[in-house]
């Protein structure tokens, strides 16, 4: 295809980034209020920006790019509001963007008066496309724009004597610029910045931000570009190498992570990747990727629902349901085999009883609780769900611990209902199905009351006298056995209702304190080898067992097709 060309490789011998390992979080800089805001159909107003700024501060960002105050009155006013209303913590740097143009730089300095800490972020385009098509300028002319911009900034430093200030320079479209030329321009910027003495309130260390303004290559080439830059910029300790990736190829996160392996110190991005075209880097995803590998992200990203609420309200953007970590569906499982594996993993984690146990749950890279998500939403039930999914919902949401042999029975019932409805079922609907099919089955047999007493002359036997309704008729049954349930079974046998054997019996407590109930589960097998399950719930454990037996009998009666 002649229309498109492959991206050229970087000639980098003995690259080191493939063998490096991320061990700590980078310096983070949020550009939500600039890159993110300019990408909104309706940009945020000042009140929304104030709320969003506070969110970023609460999350722990120490560097926040608040906008382009020289190009927009609302952004100028917003910056003045932050400064004049003393809304900026002492340890937070306000970052402001400006093109390397005289009137814009002067207006930027005007906007910063009174700021405690500031980063002046100046940029100009350096790529061949921009040089040839947009500006029609030579390499030297483009480089001189950057040099002149930095010299002007130096000449204005006296206007901000009480502001701790740092310079940031971006060769815009770094990823599309010849790598040697990018290094050349940045070296010239550093020489201009360090030519002569800087005021004590001004850092001699420059942030060189390397924007992948338009993502055009695979992440490995981006990593090569970053490592090449770090090797060749010289006096590496005098610069901070910063990344600013976009997501045109869908690999902005990978490019950033490989760029950090390649030697970068700092990352610019936005919450949930909001930005022009396909977006900026999603800082939350990179931070939680680190967290999932045991690295402290040094940002408070652990209450995602709260962060998401402010983000969506202020930006009017919506987080897609499959968005990493934050999406509605990322901790769900529709597949039956996935549901079963998740349940087994969670059961094992809960059994350990140690919150510091290594997280090992299939299909869940992190514990959803760590980021404010609820287990309730992990497994959704539809016609594709497996036996473990329904049982998990009943246990996690409502506390019912169904015996394993009962899982496929309830699973099949729920799947068939979901299939008939043509949609997934929520947890409340699943609970109602469980109650209707097991806990509340009272036909043909229903218990009115019962009483037990020791059998005369036999200390190991009890007699059960039960009042029941069978097919609408009230009857009294009586039988003896080695316990209340066996005595009730014997009473059923006296009227010919005992063509079954109990094959499984489980009990559990449900609730806490005075609200505790007993729940029993009974499995029976008829003479025709048919198995049916029942469940009973009552404040009295014996009554719960008898109700579970009656439930299993009624379910079996219904399955047999008797009328």
Domains of the chain: 25-315 (3.20.20.70), 336-437 (no CATH), 445-560 (3.30.160.270)
8-state DSSP, 202:
B
The candidate with the shortest Cα–Cα distance to 243, out of 279, 272, 273, 213, is 213
Report the C-alpha gap between 58 and 26 in whole angstroms.
Answer: 18
Q: What is the Cα Rg of the chain in Å?
A: 34
For residue 94, list its beta bridge partners.
64, 118
Helix (H) or strand (E) holding 81: helix 73-84
Report the C-alpha gap between 522 and 537 in whole angstroms.
Answer: 12
**Is-contact 166 207, C-beta < 8 A?**
yes
**Is-contact 238 193, C-beta < 8 A?**
no
Report the C-alpha gap between 95 and 75 in whole angstroms.
Answer: 12
DSSP string, 287-310: HHHHHHTT---SS----HHHHHHH
**Is-contact 168 146, C-beta < 8 A?**
no
Report the C-alpha gap between 145 and 274 in whole angstroms.
Answer: 30
**Is-contact 119 95, C-beta < 8 A?**
yes
What angle (nearest 5°) sits at the alpha carbon of residue 462, between those of residues 460 and 468?
A: 160
Q: 354 Cβ partners below 8 Å, 6+ apart?
A: none
Predicted pLDDT at 350: 85
Q: Which tokens sit at 417?
A: 């209902």
DSSP string, 112-139: TTT-SEEEEEEEEE-SHHIIIIII---H
Give CA separation, 136 vs 131, 132, 143, 147, 486, in Å.
5, 4, 13, 18, 96
Q: 124 Cβ partners below 8 Å, 6+ apart?
A: 99, 100, 142, 145, 146, 149, 171, 172
Q: Which tokens sit at 263?
A: 């030697």
Report the C-alpha gap between 304 and 325 in whole angstroms.
Answer: 8
Predicted pLDDT at 415: 87
> What tens-digit pLDDT sequence spans the chain (563 residues)?
688 888 889 999 999 999 999 999 999 999 999 999 999 999 999 999 999 999 999 999 999 999 999 999 999 999 999 999 999 999 999 999 999 999 999 999 999 999 999 999 999 999 999 999 999 999 999 999 999 999 999 999 999 999 999 999 999 999 999 999 999 999 999 999 999 999 999 999 999 999 999 999 999 999 999 999 999 999 999 999 999 999 999 999 999 999 999 999 999 999 999 999 999 999 999 999 999 999 999 999 999 999 999 999 999 999 999 999 999 989 888 777 788 888 889 888 888 877 778 999 999 999 999 999 875 545 667 666 666 788 888 988 899 999 999 999 998 999 899 889 888 888 899 999 999 999 999 999 999 999 998 887 777 889 999 999 999 999 999 999 999 999 999 999 988 887 788 999 999 999 887 789 999 999 999 877 889 999 999 999 999 999 999 999 999 888 876 54
Assign residue 225 a region (left: φ > 0; alpha: ψ between -120 and 50; beta: otherwise). alpha
3-state secondary structure of 23: coil
**Is-contact 243 210, C-beta < 8 A?**
yes
Predicted pLDDT at 377: 47
Report the C-alpha gap between 545 and 230 in whole angstroms.
Answer: 72
pTM of the model: 0.79
Assign residue 97 a region (left: φ > 0; alpha: ψ between -120 and 50; beta: otherwise). beta
């Amino acid at each position: 295809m002649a229309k498109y060309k492959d991206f050229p490789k970087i000639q980098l011998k003995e690259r080191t980034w493939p063998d490096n390992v991320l061990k700590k979080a980078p310096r983070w800089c949020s550009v939500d209020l600039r890159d993110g805001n300019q990408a909104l159909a309706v940009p945020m107003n000042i009140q929304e920006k104030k709320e969003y700024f506070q969110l970023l501060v609460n999350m722990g960002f120490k560097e926040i790019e608040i906008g382009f105050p020289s190009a927009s009155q609302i952004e100028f006013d917003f910056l003045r509001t932050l400064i004049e209303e003393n809304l900026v913590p002492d340890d937070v740097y306000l970052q402001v963007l400006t093109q390397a143009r005289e009137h814009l730089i002067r207006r930027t300095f005007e906007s910063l008066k009174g700021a405690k800490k500031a980063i002046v972020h100046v940029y100009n385009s350096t790529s061949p496309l921009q040089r040839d098509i947009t500006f029609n300028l030579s390499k030297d002319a483009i480089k001189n724009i950057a040099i002149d911009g930095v010299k002007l900034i130096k000449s204005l430093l006296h206007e901000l004597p009480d502001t701790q200030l740092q310079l940031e320079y971006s060769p815009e479209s770094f990823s599309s610029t010849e790598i040697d030329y990018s290094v050349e321009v940045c070296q010239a910027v550093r020489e201009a910045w360090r030519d002569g003495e800087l005021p004590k309130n001004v850092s001699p260390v420059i942030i060189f931000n390397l924007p992948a303004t338009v993502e055009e290559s695979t992440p490995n080439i981006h990593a090569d570009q970053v490592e090449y830059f770090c090797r060749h910029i010289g006096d590496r300790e005098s610069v901070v190498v910063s990344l600013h990736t976009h997501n045109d190829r869908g690999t902005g996160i990978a490019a950033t992570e490989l760029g950090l392996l390649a030697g970068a110190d700092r990352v610019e991005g936005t919450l949930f990747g909001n930005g022009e075209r396909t977006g900026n880097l999603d800082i939350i995803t990179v931070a939680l990727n680190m967290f999932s590998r045991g690295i402290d992200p040094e940002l408070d990203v652990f209450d995602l629902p709260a962060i998401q609420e402010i983000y969506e309200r202020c930006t009017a953007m919506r987080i897609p349901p499959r968005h990493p970590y934050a999406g509605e569906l990322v901790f769900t499982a529709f597949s039956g085999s996935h549901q079963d594996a998740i349940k087994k993993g969670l059961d094992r984690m809960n059994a350990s009883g140690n919150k510091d146990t290594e997280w090992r749950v299939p299909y869940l890279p992190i514990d959803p609780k760590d980021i404010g998500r609820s287990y309730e939403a992990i497994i959704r039930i539809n016609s594709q769900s497996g036996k473990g999914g329904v049982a998990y919902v009943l246990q996690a949401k409502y506390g019912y611990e169904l015996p394993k042999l009962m899982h496929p029975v309830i699973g099949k019932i729920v799947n068939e209902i979901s299939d008939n409805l043509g949609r997934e079922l929520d947890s409340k609907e699943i609970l109602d199905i469980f109650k209707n099919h097991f806990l509340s089955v009272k036909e043909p047999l229903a218990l009115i009351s019962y009483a037990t007493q020791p059998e005369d002359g036999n200390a190991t036997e009890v007699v059960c006298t039960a009042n029941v309704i069978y097919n609408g008729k009230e009857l009294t049954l009586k039988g003896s056995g080695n316990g209340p349930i066996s005595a009730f079974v014997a009473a059923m046998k006296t009227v010919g209702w005992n063509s079954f054997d109990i094959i499984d019996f489980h009990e559990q407590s449900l609730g806490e304190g005075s609200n505790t109930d007993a729940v029993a589960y009974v499995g029976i097998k008829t003479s025709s080898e048919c198995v049916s399950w029942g469940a009973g719930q009552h404040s009295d454990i014996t009554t719960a067992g008898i109700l579970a037996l009656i439930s299993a009998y009624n379910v079996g009666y219904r399955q047999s097709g008797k009328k």
